[in-house]
């Protein structure tokens, strides 16, 4: 067992003083590190998202984490929400403890290369100690996450039992375990996701992706609903190459964006605000309310899409409106199709604007118990966040799930500095 990591006051001071350096060169350091790491350790390609490497999302996420760590070294408790998000994702990819040592070695070497003479002996010692502290903290949390997972601590084979087209872009995959679990299929909390790993012929390697579970827990199957993305390696493999009867690799459900109807007052309102395929995680929550027969709970389903043909789950929502008498649906269409009818296929033309909704009828602002669950892309999240704050809704009444890079940035204290406020150390 490794000795407990710690840093000295002098090392903490050096880390704090290196913040401008990381702000200026952190992305370059991360880019170099990932290039070297994945080139010399090809076994790690099955963990990291190739697309996020190419787009720069992964290097930027690492750079932001390093910046936030150094900037908050005197109060690391501020990083807890961000670290929880990262550890949940790491656990879903079965990131082994020994990988942290490998990453740390390449990180420090990349700092030396990029910073050159600026990377003094004091900085090397401080960042080596700091990384050891950070990695031990994350490994400890991930070990806890693995506990109580029914011994499921590695990828397992699941068979595609059914494929259902939900829209012109989204298809649902019903996944059943090839080998039964001794205590039945492990359950999950509505809103959580699973990692799915497939071989990508165009890359010649395995690639994982996280997909929200889109149905309520049922003990028989996991359902994911996948949008076919232009240039998306895994989504196109699933849509085009994987058929009923084929096998994919699946990880245990993880994620901290959750709603458990059993723990909430049965008459407390819930508002789901989603855009595009962000509807998947929200639908798992909505279905769980229906399964629990919580007919006294006011619920609003507010969703934005380009047009009806790309909006998933339309027929299912119509059935839920019959089952849940207090369910309201409001649909926005930014570019309605020629056959889309206002009042039938959608309620508002344009992007989602909270100002166009009824304050009490749609958003239940009169009830301070109302919980808001929001899921969508970056610009949508920003608009809804600002809109809810303007209406006085903040804090733990609002829960978020941002697809793409996972939304780590919003949990990092102080955010990411802009070029205008950088000062070279």
Residue 277 and residue 223 share a domain: no
Contacts of 97 (CB under 8 A, 6+ apart): 139, 142
336: Cα separation from own chain's centroid: 29
Q: How many domains does the chain have?
A: 3
Catalytically annotated residue among 142, 166, 169, 401 = 142
The pLDDT value given to residue 420: 34
Are residue 216 and residue 329 in the same domain, yes or no? no
Tokens of 295: 């007919």
Reported as a single tens digit per residue, the pLDDT across 135-174 is 999 999 999 999 877 789 899 999 999 999 999 999 999 9
Residue 211 sits in a domain whose CATH number is: 2.40.30.10
Per-residue burial over 188-202, b = 16 or more CB atoms within 10 Å of its CB, e = otherwise: bbbbbbbbbbbebee
Same domain, 74 and 29: yes
Q: Residue 209 — pLDDT band, cuts 50, 70, 90?
A: very high
- Does pLDDT of 243 surpass 90? yes
Q: Give the CATH number for residue 82.
A: 1.10.490.10
Asked about 125 being catalytic, the answer comes back as no
Q: Is the same domain home to 279 and 390?
A: yes
Tens of pLDDT, residues 88-111: 999 999 999 999 999 999 999 999
The string of DSSP letters for 15-65 reads: HHHTHHHHHHHHHHHHHHHHHHHHHH-GGGGGTS-HHHHHHTHHHHHHHHH
**For residue 369, what pLDDT band results from cuts at 50, 70 and 90?**
very high
Mark which of 98, 124, 147 sits at the end of a domain: 147
Domain with 238 in it = 156-250
- Write down the pLDDT at residue 382: 85
| CA–CA dist 213, 207 (Å, integer) | 19
Q: Count of CB atoms within 10 A of residue 247's CB?
A: 13
Q: Are 280 and 363 in the same domain?
A: yes
Is 416 within the bounds of a domain?
A: no
Residue-level pLDDT at 5 = 78
Residue 6's pLDDT band, with cuts at 50, 70 and 90, is confident
- 68, 181: one domain: no
> Which of these three, 130, 147, 164, is where a domain ends?
147
Q: Which of 34, 67, 99, 100 is catalytic?
A: 100
Helix-helix angle 19-40:97-115, to 10 degrees: 120
Q: How far apart are CA 135 and CA 133, in angstroms?
A: 6
Q: Which residues pair with 290 in a beta bridge?
A: none
Picking from 352, 290, 357, the residue whose alpha carbon sits closest to that of residue 317 is 290
Residues 215 and 320 in one domain: no
Cα→Cα distances 256→87, 161, 189, 308, Å? 10, 27, 9, 30
β-strands 299-305, 398-402: how paired?
unpaired
Give strand pairing partners of 91: none
Three-class secondary structure of residue 330 per DSSP: strand
Of the pLDDT bands very low, low, confident and very high (cuts 50, 70, 90), residue 410 is low
Catalytic-residue membership of 221: no
- Strand order across the 193-200 sheet: 205-212, 193-200, 247-250, 156-165, 170-177, 222-227
Residue 295 sits in the same domain as residue 381: yes
What is the DSSP code (8-state) at residue 70? H
* pLDDT score for 254: 96
Has residue 423 got a pLDDT over 60?
Answer: no
Write out pLDDT tens, residues 8-49: 999 999 999 999 999 999 999 999 999 999 999 988 888 888
The answer to whether position 375 is within a domain reads yes
> Does the CA dihedral 402-405-408-410 come out positive or negative?
negative
* 411 against 190, higher pLDDT: 190
Residue 322 lies in a domain: yes
CB atoms within 10 A of CB 245: 8
Task: Find the DSSP H helices in 187-248.
Answer: 233-236
pLDDT tens digits, residue range 299-327?
Answer: 999 999 999 999 999 999 999 999 999 99
Asked if residue 394 and residue 301 are part of one domain, the reply reads: yes
Residues 173 and 139 in one domain: no
Rounded distance between C-alpha atoms, residue 242 and residue 226, angstroms: 12
| 229, 51 contact by CB (below 8 A) | no
Domain match, 294 and 389 both: yes
Task: Specify the DSSP class assigned to residue 413.
Answer: T
- Of 397, 366, 217, 377, the closest CA to residue 298 belongs to 366
């Amino acid at each position: 067992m490794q000795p407990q990591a710690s840093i000295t006051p002098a090392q903490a001071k050096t880390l704090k003083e290196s913040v401008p350096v990381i702000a200026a060169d952190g992305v370059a350091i991360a880019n170099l590190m990932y290039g070297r790491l994945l080139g010399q350790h090809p076994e790690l390609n099955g963990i990291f998202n190739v697309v996020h490497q190419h787009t720069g999302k992964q290097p930027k996420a690492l750079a932001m984490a390093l910046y936030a760590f150094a900037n908050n070294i005197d109060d690391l408790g501020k990083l807890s929400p961000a670290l929880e998000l990262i550890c949940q994702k790491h656990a879903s990819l079965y990131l082994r403890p020994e990988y942290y040592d490998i990453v740390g070695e390449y990180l420090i070497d990349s700092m030396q290369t990029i910073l050159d003479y600026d990377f003094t002996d004091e900085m090397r010692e401080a960042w080596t100690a700091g990384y050891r502290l950070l990695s031990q903290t994350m490994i400890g949390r991930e070990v806890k996450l693995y506990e109580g997972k029914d011994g499921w601590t590695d990828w397992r084979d699941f068979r595609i039992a059914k494929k259902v087209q939900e829209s012109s872009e989204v298809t649902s995959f019903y996944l059943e375990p090839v080998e039964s679990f001794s205590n039945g299929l492990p359950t999950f909390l509505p809103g959580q996701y699973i990692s799915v790993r497939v071989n990508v012929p165009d890359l010649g390697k395995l690639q994982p992706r996280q997909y929200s579970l889109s149905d309520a827990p049922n003990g028989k199957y996991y359902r994911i609903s996948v949008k076919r993305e232009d240039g998306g390696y895994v989504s196109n493999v699933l849509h085009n190459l994987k058929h009923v009867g084929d096998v994919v690799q699946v990880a245990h459900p993880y994620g901290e964006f959750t709603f458990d109807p059993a723990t909430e007052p049965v008459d407390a309102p819930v508002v789901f605000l989603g855009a595009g395929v962000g509807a998947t995680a929200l639908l798992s929550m909505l279905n769980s309310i229906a399964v629990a027969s919580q007919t006294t709970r006011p619920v609003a389903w507010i969703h934005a899409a380009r047009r009806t043909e790309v909006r998933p789950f339309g027929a299912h929502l119509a059935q839920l409106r019959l089952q849940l008498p207090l369910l309201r649906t409001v649909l926005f269409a930014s570019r309605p199709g020629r056959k889309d009818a206002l009042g039938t296929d959608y309620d508002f033309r344009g992007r989602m604007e909270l100002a166009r909704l009824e304050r009490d009828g749609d958003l239940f602002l009169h009830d301070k118990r109302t919980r808001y669950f929001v899921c969508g892309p970056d610009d949508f999240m920003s608009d809804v966040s600002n809109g809810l704050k303007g209406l006085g809704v903040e804090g733990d009444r609002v829960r978020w799930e941002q697809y793409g890079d996972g939304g780590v940035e919003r949990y990092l204290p102080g955010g990411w500095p802009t070029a205008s406020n950088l000062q070279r150390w």
